[in-house]
């Protein structure tokens, strides 16, 4: 990939010259390593059908809620960006991004877009009102080129593994087509995402749970069996993990009579908030138990108020950029689960946090004792260079480098996947180089760790 003037070759490496030199050596070892992306949101259909990307505005703005949220905060209305079904001239939406580009300076999104424009599209000048049209033209032209379709890019980007996120009743037809197509070298894996089935307060619960039961009697036991069957189907299609998001990760050992009653009330739309919370807690606990049986990795993220601004949800749908974090807790919430399954050799439990106070207080101590617990990479509001430095500093001293998940891009912005992994590799090189420069680890040890962080570590955590 090309490098342009606004992409400093040593970007994200430490300023101190001696430390930077160490960091550069570490980064160069792993810069070209295959990308393992065990959790993300690229639709499998894009790859199965090798769908061409649409226009630059759709690609960089409407399709990326990191981007349109900050434009919205800057006073741009969603309609101006083509959200909520509005029709816009993509060149005009692009011009708005260029007009506000200085507002992205220092942000993760700004960094990624620079990287994508420069390295993927060869745009030579940084975005600005003056360069907007030329950049638009260059990107638009490239998108017509077959070399910029998903399959060609998968190969160009060196993506060895790419996980999607899917509804438990998804037919996985796209995954099947990809698997049967020798032209795709990437392993494209489905991920089982049962939130709508475990949370009676989820807007899709009633429809989802009814479809899942498919006429079976509505007992908790039957419900769990139905979930297990679908998990098994995902595993048959190459799936390695189950992903659950809950605002609070409470876990409870199942009281079957209670769970039966709540499930039935929930199917009648009558579960109270307390009952819903209890069913979620049973569901998370049982999901871990199922992992001890089928070996699927369980990833958990918590502490976010989804769709904070109801009018925006109504206008443009979910993932509108207004999911806002709240304080989170794992130590007490997960205790029943960990007491019962925390030492089970089949369980891998990857814990993510958007509340960075968990890094040193809970994640590192839990992963520093339980062989089943892996520290999830910093993500969502924390998947950025300084946040990664804080994450490493807050977790390494207790848990070292080998109790983590490896970098997770968690993205639907397909084109930014290499930029994100490259950012993580540079950031980890910077962190390791500092430890070497401060005489805390040897350079040889740092080299081994740098290699493992992009290979052995994610392969172990996600059983790849």
Instruction: Name which of 43 and 365 has its Cβ closer to a copy of itself.
Output: 365
Task: For residue 142, give every residue at least 6 positions away whose Cβ sits within 8 Å of its Cβ, in sequence order, or none.
Answer: 121, 148
Confirm if 440 and 25 have CB atoms less than 8 A apart: no
Q: Does 399 bind a copy of itself (CB under 8 A)?
A: yes
Task: Name the one range near a copy of itself by CB under 8 A: 49-57, 169-177, 288-296, 325-333.
Answer: 325-333
255 binds a copy of itself (CB under 8 A): no
Among the residue ranges 70-78, 142-150, 166-174, 268-276, the one whose residues contact a copy of itself (CB under 8 A): 70-78
Output the smallest distance, CB 17 to a copy of itself, in A.
7
Q: Is 16 in the site for a copy of itself (CB under 8 A)?
A: yes
Which tokens in the block code for residue 205? 């619960």
Would you state the torsion angle of the CA atoms of residues 326, 332, 333, 338, taken in this order, to the nearest 10 degrees? Answer: 140
Closer residue to a copy of itself (CB): 146 or 311: 311
CA distance 370 to 45: 37
| H-run or E-run covering 152 | helix 150-157
Exactly one of 41, 233, 448, 463 binds a copy of itself (CB under 8 A); that residue is 448
Pairing of strands 324-325, 304-305: antiparallel
CB-based contacts of 247: which residues, under 8 Å, 6+ apart? 302, 303, 304, 305, 306, 326
Closest contact distance (angstroms) between CB of 391 and a copy of itself is 11
* Helix, strand or coil, per DSSP, at residue 314: helix
- Under the binding rule (CB under 8 A), the answer on residue 435 touching a copy of itself is yes
Binding to a copy of itself (CB under 8 A): which residues in 101-130? 102-108, 110-111, 126
Judged by beta carbon, residue 215 or residue 439, the one nearer a copy of itself is 439
Q: Which parts of 138-197 interact with a copy of itself (CB under 8 A)?
A: none
Out of 203, 317, 318, 371, name the contact with a copy of itself by CB under 8 A.
371
Which residues, 6 or more positions from 410, have their beta carbon under 8 angstroms from its beta carbon?
A: 39, 40, 41, 379, 380, 383
Spatial neighbors of 345 by CB under 8 A, at least 6 apart, are 371
- Cα 54 versus chain centre, distance: 23
322 belongs to the binding site for a copy of itself (CB under 8 A) = yes
Interface residues for a copy of itself in 404-433 (CB under 8 A)? none
Residue 463 found at the interface with a copy of itself (CB under 8 A): no
Q: Which is nearer to a copy of itself, 108 or 298 (CB)?
A: 108
- Which one among 12, 81, 96, 113 touches a copy of itself, defined by CB under 8 A? 12
Binding window for a copy of itself (CB under 8 A); candidates: 65-73, 148-156, 199-207, 285-293: 65-73
- Rule CB under 8 A: say whether 251 interacts with a copy of itself: no
Rounded Cα distance, 373 and 405, in Å: 10
Nearer to a copy of itself, 136 or 391 (CB): 391
Q: Of 187, 198, 195, 294, which is closest to residue 244 (Cα–Cα)?
A: 195
Instruction: Report, in Å, the least distance between residue 392 CB and a copy of itself.
Output: 8
Phi, psi of 334 (to 5 degrees): -90, 0
Sequence length of the chain is 464
């Amino acid at each position: 990939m090309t490098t342009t003037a606004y992409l400093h070759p040593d970007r994200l490496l430490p300023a101190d010259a001696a430390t930077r030199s160490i960091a550069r050596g570490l980064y160069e070892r792993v810069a070209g390593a295959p990308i393992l992306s065990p959790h993300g949101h690229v639709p499998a259909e894009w790859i199965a059908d090798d769908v061409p990307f649409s226009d630059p505005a759709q690609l960089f703005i409407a399709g990326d809620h990191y981007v349109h949220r900050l434009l919205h905060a800057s006073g741009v209305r969603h309609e101006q960006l083509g959200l909520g079904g509005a029709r816009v001239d993509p060149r005009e939406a692009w011009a708005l991004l260029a007009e506000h580009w200085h507002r992205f300076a220092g942000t993760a999104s700004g960094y990624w877009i620079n990287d994508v424009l420069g390295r993927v599209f060869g745009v030579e000048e940084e975005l600005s009102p003056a360069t907007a049209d030329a950049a638009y033209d260059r990107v638009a032209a490239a998108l017509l080129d077959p070399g910029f379709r998903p399959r060609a890019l998968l190969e160009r980007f060196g993506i060895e593994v790419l996980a999607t996120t899917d509804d438990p009743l998804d037919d996985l037809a796209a995954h099947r087509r990809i698997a049967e197509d020798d032209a795709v070298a990437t392993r494209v894996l489905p991920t089982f995402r049962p939130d709508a089935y475990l949370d009676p307060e989820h807007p899709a619960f009633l429809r989802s749970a009814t479809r899942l039961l498919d006429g079976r009697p509505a007992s908790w036991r039957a419900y769990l069996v139905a979930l297990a069957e679908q998990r098994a189907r995902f595993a048959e299609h190459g799936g390695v993990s189950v992903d659950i998001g809950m605002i609070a990760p409470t876990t409870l050992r199942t009281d079957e009579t209670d769970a039966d009653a709540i499930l039935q009330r929930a199917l009648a739309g009558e579960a109270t908030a307390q009952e819903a919370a209890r069913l979620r807690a049973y569901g998370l606990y049982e999901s871990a138990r199922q992992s001890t049986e089928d070996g699927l990795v369980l990833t958990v993220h918590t502490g976010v108020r989804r769709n904070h601004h109801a009018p925006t949800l109504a206008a443009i749908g979910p993932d509108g950029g207004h999911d806002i974090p709240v304080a989170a807790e794992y130590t007490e919430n997960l205790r029943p689960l960990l007491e019962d399954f925390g030492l089970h050799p089949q369980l891998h439990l990857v814990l993510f946090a958007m509340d960075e106070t968990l890094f040193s207080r809970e994640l590192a101590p839990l992963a520093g004792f339980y062989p089943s617990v892996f520290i999830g990479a910093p993500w969502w509001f924390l998947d950025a260079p300084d946040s990664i430095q804080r994450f490493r500093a807050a977790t390494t001293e207790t848990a070292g480098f080998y109790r983590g998940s490896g970098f997770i891009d968690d993205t639907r912005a397909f084109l930014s996947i290499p930029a994100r992994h490259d950012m993580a590799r540079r950031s980890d090189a910077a962190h390791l180089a500092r430890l070497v420069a401060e005489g805390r680890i040897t350079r040889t040890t740092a080299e081994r760790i740098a290699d493992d962080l992009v290979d052995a570590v994610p392969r172990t955590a996600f059983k790849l």
